[in-house]
Amino acid sequence: MNIGYGDKFGPATIAAKTRIKAERIVQGYDMNHFAAMLGISRKKLEDIEATRNYGCFLDLEMMNDIAFALNEDINFFVEGQ
């Protein structure tokens, strides 16, 4: 993996964060509603979906909760399938 200096997230994490945001929008959830579904703040969801250096890391437990809330297999976010 070739991550440049200053890059916080690798390509797989960026892809997963992008897929999470896209699927949330496709399913019609705004940030406030979806954050409430997950039991987190809107700011936390914003950080989860952020792909710039200020976003937060995405842990496996949160990815599992997101996959469950969106009725998707976790592999959809990890592999795009």
Domains of the chain by start residue, with CATH: 11-71 (1.10.260.40)
- Report CA-CA distances (Å) from 58 to 13, 52, 72: 7, 13, 17
Longest dimension (CA), the chain: 36
pLDDT at site 2: 52
Q: Taking the model in full, what pTM does it have?
A: 0.86
- Looking at residue 12, its amino acid is A
Tell me which H or E stretch contains 78: helix 74-79
Ordered mean pLDDT values, 10 residues apiece, the chain (81 residues): 61 92 98 97 94 83 96 92 68
pLDDT at 5: 40
